[in-house]
Amino acid sequence: MAPVEFTVTGGEGSPLDHVAVVTPSSSLVVITDPGGWAQVSQAAPVGSAVVPTRVRPLRFAVLDLRHFPSASGLPSIADVPGDLVAVHDTRSWDSSPVIGSLRGLGRPVVLFTAAHTWVSGLDPSTVLLGWSSPHVVIAVPRGRGEGRVEDVVWQFQELERRRVATYTALPSPQVVEDRPVTVVVALPGATEGIAGALRPGAEYEVWVRVGTHPAPLPGDLELRAVLCMNGRAVQSEPFVLPADGASPWVSFPVTTPYASVPWSGELVIYRGAVPVHVQQVVLPVGGGESRTRPRLRLSRTFADLVPLSSRTGSVLVLGERALVAAGREPHWVSLDSVSGLPPVSGLDPWYGKGFPAFCEDLAAFAVRGTALHGRLFGDGAMIPRGGVITVVGSTRVPWAHVYDLPFVEGPYRLCASVSRFGPFGAGGEVPPRCPEPDHSGNVLCPFGFWGFSSVLEQPEGPLAWQVSTAGRQVEVTLAVDPGLDRALTQRHVAELLSFLPPESISSAYVSPSDLSRALEDERSDVMHLVYDEGVLEAVEAEWPHRPLVVTTSPAANLVGEFVNRAGAAGVLCPEVVVDQGMTGWVSGMLLARLAGGMPAGEALRRTRWEMMSRGNVLGLAYALHANADLRLR
C-alpha cells in the first residue's frame, strides 16, 4: 500500500478535544497521545471509560491489543458500551484487520499508536492527530493508502516554518439553556402587558407562560401554576405544556396593596405534587419596574419531568414557612421554632441497643415528629404513605422523623411492628404498609415515620436520573481525613470491601484543604468523603459526569455547592454527627444497594429498616439530597 498525502492544519487544546470534534464524522482517528490513553485506559484491557473534554464527554469502549497474543484471542467488543472504540496498538502482530473489522461495527475507532508506526487502510474518512508544541496537528488523507503520524507532524512544522500553516479553533461547548418562564402584568381584559409602576389598591392580572425550548418533550405535559403574593390567598391554575412550543398564558387576578411598596410573592410551577420551578415575583406598587428572580429549578428543560407524576406530596420550604401540596391546592404552614432530632447515645459495639432502650429512642423521635406533623397538617390532612415525598428548599428540619400518628409523652402502646422489625424481632421483608390494622390511642409504630413508611427526596437542583449508562462495575472514590482514627478508618474500608469488589474502590488520605484538587479529575460514580464535623468544605471542581456524593458528616450546608456548582447528581449525608465507627457500616449498606441497581431513595429507606433491626433509630437522621429514582447504573 502506497503512502498517502495529507491536508494538514493545527489546533489548540488537547488531542482528545479534537477527537470530540472529528468524530463521529470520521470513522478512524490515529492518535499519538500517551496522556490521552492514560485517561481512557482505566478499564483496560477491555472495558468502558468516560473522558470529559472541552467539547463534549467521550464515552469509550476500551480494547488494549497488547494484552492478547493474537487476533484470535480477542474478546467481542460489540457488547461493551461506548460511543467510540479506543484501541491501543501492538507490535506483536498485525492489527490492521482488527481495526478494519472494528470500523465496520458502526462506531468510530480511535487508534492509539506510536508516532513512527505505519498505519494502513487510511482514507478521507480518517484523521491523524499528533503534537507539535503548542499545537495539535490535524491531518486528513487526500486519498487511500498508509501513513505515519510523525510524517504529518513534520509536514505541519514545515508549513509553520514557511508561515503558511492554517489553524482550526475548537467549537464552543454546547450550553444547555433554561426553558424560560415569563411573568407579565396587564390591566384586566387587556391583550398586552404593561410596564412601569402599578397603582396602589388597583386590580390587575398576572400572566404566566412556560416558553419554548430546543429540547423536545416526550409528549404534552400537564402542569399547574401557583401564584402566592404576600398578603393574598394562594391561587392555582392547571395548564398543558405542549410537546412542541410554548404553553398558553395562565392568568391570575390580583389587587395591589394600598401602600406604595414593592410587592413580592412566589410563582411556582408544579408537575403533579412536585414544585419543579420557583421564582420570586416583585410587582412595583407606586414606583419601579416589575422583576423576577429564579429561586429553584428541578429541570432546566421540562423534558425530564414525566416520572414526577407519581409523587404523593411535597413541601416547598421558603424561609420560615413552607408550601405544602398533598392531593389538593397548596397551602402555607409555619416552620418557625421547629426542633431538631433528640440526642441518641449508648449504642453498643454493634451500633445498636436492646429492646427497652430502643423503644425509648423511638418514642422520643415520635414526640417531636408528631408535633412537626401537626404544624404541616393542622387541619387533619396527611400525605398518603407508601409513595415518594418531595421536600424542596434549604431547611434544617429532619423530615424523615415526621410522625403522622397522634403521639404524646406518657404511657403508650407498642404496635406489633415494633417487636417484629426492631431488635431481636422476626424481621423479614418490610411490607409497603403496616400489617397491623389497629393504631388507635397513643400508639408507637415505625410506619408512622415518613422515613420508614415513604421514600423521601430532598433535591437541591436539576434532577439527575442516572449517574452513568456504562455497563461496568460501579466505581467508588474514598477520600479520608488523615486526622481521623486510623484503626476505625481501616475497619471502615474493610466493611466497604465486604460489600463491594476491591477493584471498584480507590482510597486515599486527603486533608480537607487538598480535597478539591484531589477530586477535580476523579471520574468515579460515587465520591465517598469521610471527614469529621465542620472540616468538610465545598469542592472547587466541575464534574461533567454528575457523581453521587456520600459523606459521613453533616453536609446540608454544602449540598448547593456540590450540586449546582460542582455538578454532582446529589448528596447523601447524615443530619447529625455520626460516630466514625458506625459510618462504615451505614455507608457499606447504602453503597451495596446502590451498586446492585437499587434507586437511591429506596436504598436509604431499606437501610433505615436494617439499622432499626439492631435497635438503631439514627437511620432517620440520614437525608437524600437528590432524586429518589437516581440510579448509579
Q: CA 311, CA 272: separation in Å to the nearest integer? A: 7
Single-letter code of the amino acid located at 301: T
pLDDT of residue 114: 92
HEC string for 470-484: CCCCCCEEEEECCCC
Please identify every stretch of the chain with a pLDDT value under 50, giving residue numbers as ranges.
none
Q: Do residues 136 and 152 make contact, with C-beta atoms less than 8 angstroms apart?
A: no
Q: What is the DSSP pairing of strand 126-132 with strand 135-141?
A: antiparallel
What is the secondary structure of 406-447 as a DSSP string? ---SS--EE-HHHHHHSTTS---PPPSS-S-----SSEE-GG
CA dihedral (418, 423, 426, 432) positive or negative? positive
Cα pseudo-dihedral 374, 378, 384, 386, rounded to 10: -10
The model's pTM is 0.75
Q: Do residues 446 and 612 make contact, with C-beta atoms less than 8 angstroms apart?
A: yes
Report helix angle 580-595 to 600-612, nearest 10.
130
pLDDT of residue 302: 93
What are the grid coordinates assigned to 109, written together?
475507532
pLDDT of residue 290: 87
pLDDT of residue 469: 62
